[in-house]
Chain A
Amino acid sequence: MLRMPKFKVLNPATVAEAVDAIQQVEGSRFIAGGTDINPNLKHRLLEPECLVALNGVEEIFGISQTEFGLRIGAMESLTNVETNTLIQQLAPGLASASRQVSGPQLRNMGTIGGNVMLDTRCKWYNQTYFWRKSLGFCLKKDGDVCHVIKGGSKCVAAASNDTAAALSTLQAELEFANAQGSTRIAIDKLWQADGIWNKKVGPHDLLVAIHLPAALLNQKGSYKKLRDRNSIDFPLLGIAARLKISDNIVDDCALCVVALQARPWPLDKASALLIGTTVGSDAFNEALKACCAIAAKQCRPMPNIPGDHAYRHAMVPVFIRRAILSCLD
């Protein structure tokens, strides 16, 4: 049995009420599907006095085509994202990544917004208070050392959100609201390389919607995920790919990796190699090899999450290849 810490819950009905509610008590947190924050509360990784529940805020639901492209309300469940025909057609890599998050019940509850805003993960951190106390606390919560990098002064807990990689390849724009108004941030600009809090917005910024630009929709996309079991498990490594192919030539390519370090990592140097090659040609095959090799050089898994990090490293080129080739199926 894992008890929650004591808190009160506010249930706003509008974005304005939500951004107001979150400021009423210092340290309050939003709760969407609760599938990340609730286990973390039970582990005493945070102890806010107040939670602001977003399930009643209608404005932040909905999946629709807009002038800009595609708008996905932050509160849409991962099940809705995965099964939505617009997303399946226009952003297949995102549908695939959503389908591979945790297990069915968690996807019914967990939201795409909560997935973007997911806390980073580490095998020394996602543990009960008792467990962490026995070992000695770490930088991310209650302590002053890192158990992953001895003598390290920076937390390297891993960004483990599957959909963030796919959203990066689609150059998603994130719409936030706070007491000052509303802002839009490109997803690749959201992150900072700090495992304690890996985002440039704060916990009081409300993610309203995710906007996918029309120019990158309706292309090939895939997400390949390394994990022990084919369900429930967080990624040990996740690779998203987007390919634009015209007349059998790779016009554009984007790759992004998660579950390595504190932030999702776009692999621009690697993906650029494929651009301009004809699918199936010798040049394409050579470029694919070089792309996998560069990615393997750039990606350095750390012993921060479960799974042998040397094995995770060895799987980088394998999963890059699979992600790209499955765009060509």
Chain B
Amino acid sequence: MRVFHLKINGDTVDVAAPEHYTLLEILRYELGLTGSKQGCDKGDCGSCTVQVDGVPMLSCLVLPSTVESKAITTIEGLAVQHRSDGGEGASLLQNAFDAAGALQCGFCQPGMIMSAQALLESNATPNRDDIKQALAGNLCRCTGYTQIYTAVESAAKDGGENGCS
């Protein structure tokens, strides 16, 4: 066992867990943050994507001790951030996925949104190619991707100058 000092969705948490646990296992099984999905568990699918200091990474391949000084954001953190910025309910991007019907089973969605959110933060007006590039590490087995790209485009449009949170 080792105590990991983590900063997750704005909260500082000390988690005692087996040393060989991945960040994804800590999130899901120690902290109950089951929004990040365990798909392939080996870097192939992107469903476990979280942001580490704003950068999308695959939590199934991250050792928690290597991200102790960093800000980790999971899908659960987006709405928290949105509400602390004065918004209500889910974030603009989450609502855009909903409105565009950008999901069928939904398994890929948290990872897609975490990748897309990072894109919108660095580029508020992405074109279709930028979006495809940013989501190239997130697989969806259901939708065929078109509505996902549309959702990101519409969030970018609605977010305008203010970015998208």
Given A104-B136, A232-B44, A53 and B66 contact (CB-CB distance below 8 Å): yes
Q: Decide if B41 is an interface residue (CB 8 Å cutoff).
A: yes
Residues of chain B within 8 A (CB-CB) of A7 are 19-20
Pairwise interchain contact B21-A104, C-beta atoms closer than 8 A: no
A74-110 residues with Cβ-Cβ distance < 8 A to B are 79, 102-106, 108-109
Q: Decide if B49 is an interface residue (CB 8 Å cutoff).
A: yes
Report how far A74 CA is from B78 CA in the complex, Å: 33
Chain A nearest CB, measured from B149 CB (Å):
15
Report how far A2 CA is from B66 CA in the complex, Å: 20
CB within 8 Å of B: which residues of A?
A: 1-2, 4-9, 11, 31, 33-35, 38-39, 42-43, 51, 53, 55-56, 79, 102-106, 108-109, 230-232
6 smallest CB-CB distances across A and B, nearest first, come from A103-B137, A231-B136, A39-B42, A2-B41, A4-B20, A38-B61
Report how far A33 CA is from B38 CA in the complex, Å: 19
Residues of chain B within 8 A (CB-CB) of A38 are 22, 42-43, 60-61, 63
Given A1-B41, A105-B58, A53 and B65 contact (CB-CB distance below 8 Å): yes
* Closest A residue by C-beta to B46: A105
Residues of chain A within 8 A (CB-CB) of B58 are 35, 105-106, 109
Main secondary structure of the interface of A (DSSP, over half): loop
Pairwise interchain contact B63-A232, C-beta atoms closer than 8 A: no
In the complex, 23 of the A-B residue pairs with CB atoms within 8 angstroms, ordered by the A residue number, are A2-B42, A4-B21, A4-B22, A6-B19, A9-B19, A9-B63, A31-B66, A34-B63, A35-B61, A38-B60, A38-B63, A43-B42, A51-B63, A56-B66, A103-B136, A105-B58, A105-B115, A108-B55, A108-B57, A109-B62, A230-B136, A231-B136, A232-B139
Give the residue of B57, B61, B134, B136 whose beta carbon is less than 8 angstroms from that of A232.
B136
Report how far A231 CA is from B44 CA in the complex, Å: 10
* Closest B residue by C-beta to A34: B61
Give the residue of A4, A35, A231 whose beta carbon is less than 8 angstroms from that of B43.
A35
Report how far A132 CA is from B43 CA in the complex, Å: 20
Residues of chain A within 8 A (CB-CB) of B136 are 103-104, 230-232
Greatest chain B CB density within 10 A among A11, A104, A106, A231 is at A104
Q: Decide if B87 is an interface residue (CB 8 Å cutoff).
A: no
B100-138 residues with Cβ-Cβ distance < 8 A to A are 115, 133-134, 136-137
Chain B nearest CB, measured from A111 CB (Å):
12
Q: Decide if B10 is an interface residue (CB 8 Å cutoff).
A: no
Report how far A2 CA is from B137 CA in the complex, Å: 19
Residues of chain B within 8 A (CB-CB) of A42 are 41-42
Pairwise interchain contact A6-B20, C-beta atoms closer than 8 A: yes
Report how far A104 CA is from B122 CA in the complex, Å: 14
B32-78 residues with Cβ-Cβ distance < 8 A to A are 38, 41-44, 46, 49, 55-58, 60-63, 65-66
Give the residue of B2, B41, B57 whose beta carbon is less than 8 angstroms from that of A105.
B57
Residues of chain A within 8 A (CB-CB) of B134 are 104
Pairwise interchain contact A34-B62, C-beta atoms closer than 8 A: yes
